[in-house]
Amino acid sequence: MTVSVTLPALGESVTEGTVTRWLKQVGERVESDEPLLEVSTDKVDTEIPSPAGGVLLEITVAEDETVEVGARLGVIGAPEAVPPAAPTPVPEAPQAVSEPVLPVASAFPEPAAPAPAPTAASAPAVAAGQTSAAGPPVAPPAPATAASSLRGRTVPMTRIRRAIGENLKKALHEQAQLTSTIEVDVTRLMRPRNRTEDAFLAREGHKLSPLPFFIKAAAQALKAHPVVNARINEAQGTISYFDTENVGIAVDTESGPMTPVLRAAGDLTVTGLARAVHDLADRARSGHLTPDDVSGATFTISDTGSRGVLFETVIVPPNQAAILGVGTTVRRPEVVRSGDEEVIGVRDMVHLSLSYDHRLVDGADAARYLTAVRAILESGVIENDL
């Protein structure tokens, strides 16, 4: 008995997929529900599990081929159905022929004996930045950087990379995008986060990053500023203001940025957000997201600061009104008020950049939203939400 492996429906609007990698080869055993191959769609890369246990008898769709939903990808059968391999012919050994051995001159000259390395006593010491007798000041060595394996190569553009590019072009072409930036003092946020970091790691099994705090503040502010959490319906000439905060979070993966969605983020605690972010990011990087995981976002947050970026003009995704970019947190001296006086203190500062569709969101709307996010973050109220 054999079982066909078919391309399942991978989302409401997904009609086809591209086989990117077979995880098993013909003749290999596979268990039921064990990942069998990887498929890429215009929304997500995902693994297709084996529908039955047995042996992979046939692969009908090769890697990099695109087929429609329902197409047969391969065949699973019983181990005894594997055709026996044809015996490999053994070539007849040639008869040995006795040949005289002649001396052969080397094609390369013998290397000269290396000169002895200079010792500390024989070489004059030259401190970094000083001028030696042989030349200009000696600069300290640059940090070692490993060369990428992509240098000098031309490779096919993956389906997910093409989809990302098309979506970004579509967004820039159809929207009037603008970016506003604000600076926020998050010292009152970082202190409790740093105090509870070890306890959180011991309890939850993963680190507590600053991102859930920013998601919490951003989602809370969306409730008071729905113009930023909206969508233009061009065909109908209407605007939809959402009553829930489904926040997409940009995750860096080997295939490119993926944006899984935190549903009803405005109703979650910081701890709940941290758990959801950790789960979605892990599944995004391991290729286990489903199309439902990456659909339905009403607003997006991009944590550009996790890579050390100060701030960025992030691109608003299609069918959304805005996206918030969170920059890296920097400790630096700032003027702060202490009672009736102004003093210099060391503070944790961060830039928040809101890119928005100017057809729907005015500059004053963006300023009001960013100011609301800043007020929530600087108030310290979120620290009670852990």
Do 324 and 353 form a contact (C-beta atoms < 8 A)?
yes
Whole-angstrom Cα distance, residue 317 to residue 299? 9
Whole-angstrom Cα distance, residue 236 to residue 8? 33
User: Which of 293, 358, 365, 385 is the catalytic position?
Assistant: 358
User: Which of 340, 362, 365, 385 is the catalytic position?
Assistant: 362
Do 73 and 6 form a contact (C-beta atoms < 8 A)?
yes
Strand, coil or helix: 316: coil
Calculate ∠ Cα 254-18-170, nearest 5°.
Answer: 70
Whole-angstrom Cα distance, residue 265 to residue 8? 30
Burial class (CB in 10 A: 0-12, 13-18, 19+), 53: middle
Helix, strand, coil percent values for the chain (each to nearest 5): 25, 30, 45
Do 365 and 230 form a contact (C-beta atoms < 8 A)?
no
Is 198 marked active-site? no
Q: 26 in the Ramachandran plot: left (φ > 0), alpha (ψ -120 to 50) or beta?
A: beta
- Cα 91 from chain centre: 52
Whole-angstrom Cα distance, residue 329 to residue 218? 17
Is 358 marked active-site? yes
Catalogue the active-site residues.
358, 362
